[in-house]
Amino acid sequence: MAEAFEITAGESRGRAAVVRLRGRLDAGGVQALLNHTSRVLAAEQNLVLNLSQVSFIGSSGVGALLVTLEMFREQGCDVRFVELSAAVAAAIQVLNLDRFLPIEASEDVAISKLAA
């Protein structure tokens, strides 16, 4: 049963673009993710990335999250990762990356923090 990787753009709230991911994020989906986030960056928006529906994230997916964060910060924008699914949380925890990734509990919290 293929859990296809999907990227859904939510409504923008102010300067924050909400993007929701769904399915398995492994090497196959990384490029699509980076393309999408690049477009968000090109629009000079902040990114709120909702990971609640990510059923699996491989190392390349984690790498993509890190790259995205670096990309945005270099350009003066910011990223918040919200509602980590169990799979994402496990991957982050294994690599002890939780101190490097800004994680918020919900989209609303992330948006208000980005606005501040």
Among 11, 42, 76, 96, binds another protein (CB under 8 A): 96
Element (H, E) at 21: strand 16-25
In angstroms, rounded to a whole number, what is the distance separating the alpha carbons of residues 50 and 79?
A: 11
Among 6, 8, 43, 70, binds another protein (CB under 8 A): 70
Tell me if 2 contacts another protein by CB under 8 A.
Answer: yes
CA 51 → CA 23, 76, 88, 96, 115, distances in Å? 9, 23, 7, 18, 20
- Any idea how long the chain is? 116
| Binding-site size, another protein (CB under 8 A) | 30
CA neighbours within 13 Å on the CB side: how many for 84?
A: 19
Among 17, 47, 54, 64, binds another protein (CB under 8 A): 64
Among 9, 43, 95, 109, binds another protein (CB under 8 A): 95
Residues 23-52 that bind another protein (CB under 8 A): 24, 26-28
Tell me which residues touch another protein (CB under 8 A).
Answer: 1-3, 24, 26-28, 56, 58-60, 62-67, 69-70, 86-87, 89-91, 93-97, 100
